[in-house]
């Protein structure tokens, strides 16, 4: 039986990818960011998953205004690294897990979440920056990835509670897959940031840290936070944090199991315009 062994949470700031691609990681500005991932790079080697179910958002890359799916699951065998305008990041292409992805799509749709199935999708920094942060710069990514794109670009975006419940459905789906697979679920994006308008540059350390506390201890209560609070307190792009609730909803305690173990927690301001948050929870 496939099982979800851990969840990983991390910001996916594009400048972090650029810092790695351009060899700037030893600069003091960036050292402070990357120091928060030293533990994680060893941890992922020691706890190598077969598949990562990677929740991220597309930033006007694979999805223009032509089609805006709320939840899109990537069921392809591979995904190319997108050219977002600066040229594609020099990182390996992403290998999918089509059988498991198709199984999850089937199961989750039958649990009343109407996913969009995507067989062709270039993946942007939302997906590749978390891989780089956790794995460094390998020739090939060390595991397969199921990309799961959430619309957080055009309002209304899905609610925190919808995301949390979806995580629960994904857990059921994974556990009903016959093959014996170690699956991790990653929630990415955030933390507080605003990239637009005269209010750009907003950061809210207190709110972010309370979010991390509640994500560990009271995820269901946290899922009840409405959109307007995210925008007011965490900035217009801070709304990406609802994606972390999908990963959290897939943890065992939500289904009546034991509390997860907090393996790692990190918070730093800034990376470019954004507060960086990172956490690892094990089942």
Partner 1 sequence: MSLDKPYAGIPGTTIFDAEQSRKGYWLNQFCMSLMKAENREKFKADERGYLDQWPMTEDQKLAVLSRDLNRCIALGGNIYFLAKIGATDGKSFQQMAGSMTGMSEEAYRDMMIGGGRPATWTGKEEKK
Q: Does 231 bind partner 1 (CB under 8 A)?
A: yes
Choosing from 12, 59, 103, 193, the catalytic residue is 193
Choosing from 59, 103, 125, 278, the catalytic residue is 125
Provide the H-helix boundaries in 35-185: 38-46, 98-110, 125-135, 160-175
12 is annotated as an active-site residue: no
For strand 182-188 and strand 78-79, is the pairing parallel, antiparallel, or unpaired?
unpaired
Q: What is the total count of residues that contact partner 1 (CB under 8 A)?
A: 48
Distances (CA, A) of 34 to 126, 187, 201, 204, 212: 17, 18, 21, 21, 19
Q: Which stretch binds partner 1 (CB under 8 A): 55-63, 73-81, 217-225, 251-259?
A: 55-63
Q: Does 26 bind partner 1 (CB under 8 A)?
A: no
| Site track for partner 1 across 163-202, x = CB under 8 A | -----------------------------x-xxxxxxxxx
CA-wise closest residue to 22 among 132, 98, 113: 132
Q: Does 28 bind partner 1 (CB under 8 A)?
A: no
Distances (CA, A) of 38 to 30, 52, 204, 228: 13, 19, 25, 35
Alpha-carbon gap, residue 185 to 125, rounded angstroms: 17
| Site track for partner 1 across 90-129, x = CB under 8 A | ----------------------------------------
Binding site for partner 1 (CB under 8 A): 14-15, 18, 29, 59-61, 64-66, 82-87, 153-156, 192, 194-205, 207, 227-228, 231-237, 269-270, 272-273, 275
Residues identified as active-site: 125, 193
């Amino acid at each position: 039986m496939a099982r979800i062994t851990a969840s990983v949470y991390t910001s996916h700031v594009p400048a972090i990818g650029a810092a790695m691609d351009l060899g700037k990681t030893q600069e003091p500005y960036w050292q402070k960011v990357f120091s928060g991932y030293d533990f994680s790079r060893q941890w992922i080697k020691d706890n190598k998953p077969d598949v990562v179910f990677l929740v991220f958002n597309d930033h006007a890359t694979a999805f223009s205004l032509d089609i805006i799916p709320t939840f899109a699951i990537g069921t392809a065998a591979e995904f190319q690294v997108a050219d977002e305008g600066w040229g594609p990041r020099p990182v390996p292409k992403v290998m999918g897990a089509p059988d498991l992805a198709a199984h999850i799509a089937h199961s989750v749709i039958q649990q009343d979440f109407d996913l969009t199935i995507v067989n062709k999708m270039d993946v942007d920094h939302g997906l590749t920056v978390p891989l780089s942060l956790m794995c460094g710069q390998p020739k090939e990514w060390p595991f397969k990835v199921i990309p799961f794109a959430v619309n957080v670009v055009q309002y209304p975006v899905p609610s925190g509670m919808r995301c949390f419940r979806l995580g629960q459905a994904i857990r059921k789906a994974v556990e009903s897959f016959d093959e014996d697979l170690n699956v991790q679920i990653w929630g990415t994006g955030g933390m507080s940031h605003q990239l637009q308008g005269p209010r750009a540059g907003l950061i809210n350390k207190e709110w972010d840290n309370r979010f991390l506390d509640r994500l560990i201890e009271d995820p269901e209560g946290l899922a009840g936070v409405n959109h307007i609070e995210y925008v007011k307190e965490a900035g217009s792009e801070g709304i990406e944090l609802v994606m972390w609730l999908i990963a959290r909803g897939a943890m065992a305690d939500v289904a009546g199991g034991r509390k997860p173990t907090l393996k790692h927690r990190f918070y730093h301001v800034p990376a470019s315009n954004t507060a960086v948050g990172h956490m690892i929870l094990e089942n």
